[in-house]
Amino acid sequence: MPYRAPADEFRFLLRHVVDFDQVAATDRFADATEDTVQAILTEAGRMCEDVLAPLQRQGDLHPARLENGVVRTSPGFAEGYRAIAEGGWVAIAAPSEYGGMGLPMVLTTAVNEMMSSACLSLQLSPLMTQGQIDALENHASEEILNRYLPKMISGEWAGTMNLTEPQAGSDVGALRTRAEPNCDGSYSISGQKIFISWADNDFTENVCHLVLARLPGAVAGTKGISLFLVPRHLPDESGAPGKANSLRVVSLEHKMGLHGSPTAVMEYDNATGWLVGEEHDGMRAMFTMMNNARLGVGVQGIGVAEAACQHALTYAMDRRQGSSPLSGDAATGAIIDHADVRRMLATMKAETSAARAIALANAVAIDMARATGDAGWAARAAFLTPITKAFGTRTGVAVADLGVQVHGGMGYIEETGAAQYLRDVRVTAIYEGTNGIQAMDLAGRKLMDGGEAAFALIDEIQNRAEAARDRLPDLASPVWQAAELLREATEWALAQTDMNERFAGAMPFLLGWARVLGGHFHLAAALAEDKTGSAGHRKRLARFYITRLLPEHGTLLTQATAGTDDLYTLTPEDLTA
């Protein structure tokens, strides 16, 4: 079905909900005027609708394949990628001195969501490149920056990240890939990596791999890991791709979804690479790329949620089945008239809107931190990142699943396209750090400031709710109360000296935060709409969210503060009984 880019929704959220004006008011992002924002959203939206959306089904039916050591991509993907690269959509936030637009991460976030809605399999390629650009900009030498960044920003070259090995998944410190120094300042990289997204393609001149490896004599664990840039083809003196490097795609995985995105096993056999950052400091450099990608992956989930929502709504408005409360007994009504279908569609819409606002607020914090150097903004960005990643991807999975349900039996039939959204998005809750790891990060590392960033957000939520009491008391009061319970749960977490007590409820803790933030942003949208006197659909959606979905925060936060006793009194024998 056709995809419609929600450009108007982005404009409303930027102006009225996440306070993008403060980003545009900084010296660094002064070029992000209202006209610029509108032009980017309009043009990127048109490209997603006209060029990328038709590729969604092509990638699923005609997967990427490995032929004689070369990855052959799905029909139309080369043309789709060319539209992304030539439009400058790879490098919206990349530094202007190397050819990027130098615009805020908020705009990258909006465009990435639209591309994910249109064709997630293809969007994953520029997302990897964006993350590598960020890592190189912050950690690489001037020589590497001058040679690689312009090519990656233009889209002529693509980027990947290589972390995982068969024995080293979430435990990255267990990796075995080796790096031996050469006499010319380069290194020889040997080892095998798995689950490498877009490890190769047939539409860019070069593919540049960021590879984690261990130098001779390095200590065990993550503190002994270094990061290396290893290109598919070694640049010659002119900077053009020269001879092939000593690396290869061993195989492509047969996956549940994302068939158009090649996920490879990679082998490095004394491949030539260059150190990025300092020796034994590779994880710090790689985390720059990973945090960029975590925001991006959360947005992938939101993008699929938007597409699945549009898909289900169109079907529900067209599908006529039985009499309904709105059609009368004598007529056959559209299934959208049925209360339970209406509930599912409203849930899909409200959840997608909440997740989108959280992601945009996360991007605003990143932009403000970069523009001002303020530690408070940096702490907010760090705090929101695991929530964006985990809740955004969970929303994608849940909304796509509801989309199948709305379709009924036809949702289980592949030709309708509803099932593909669910198959494609499912992995987003796993890669770039599983959602459980994101939750433990939030409950652990992100509270190491004594809860300063958390409490600043809670104060902001309650202040907005207090200010809205006169206009929207029925919406403002539940949000204020929810934030108070969130404060108590956060205080409980901070009081736990045994981190496992926090980790036992880390996921409901994160989801409780997402629920309350969702109510906060829905209230902001309703309040802005109330003040402008516009149509009122956001106020109605906010009422649905705050009445039906926000109350889940109570149960979630009860679970979050339950500790470990009930988990560890259960034995493996109990679970197999």
Residue with tokens 């309904």: 324
d(CA 389, CA 392): 5
Active site residue 253: no
Half-sphere exposure of 18 (CA within 13 A, CB side): 30
Residue with tokens 């108007």: 8
Of these residues, 9, 137, 165, 432, which one is catalytic? 432
CA dist 307 to 5, 203, 380, 467, Å?
A: 9, 26, 29, 34
d(CA 59, CA 56): 6
Phi-psi region of 155 (alpha: psi -120 to 50; beta: other; left: phi over 0): left
| Residue 47 CA from chain centroid, whole number | 20
Strands 206-214 and 157-162: parallel
Residue with tokens 């997204």: 197
Question: Taking a C-beta distance cutoff of 8 angstroms, is the pair 320, 333 a contact?
Answer: yes
Angle at 416 between CA 394 and CA 407, to 5 degrees: 65
- Secondary structure tally for the chain: helices H, strands E: 20, 11
The residues facing 289 across adjacent strands are none
Identify residue 194 by its one-letter amino acid code.
Answer: I
Query: H or E element: which one contains 344?
Result: helix 339-372
Tokens linked to 59: 């990638």
Tokens linked to 293: 């990608």
d(CA 530, CA 522): 12
Catalytic residues: 432
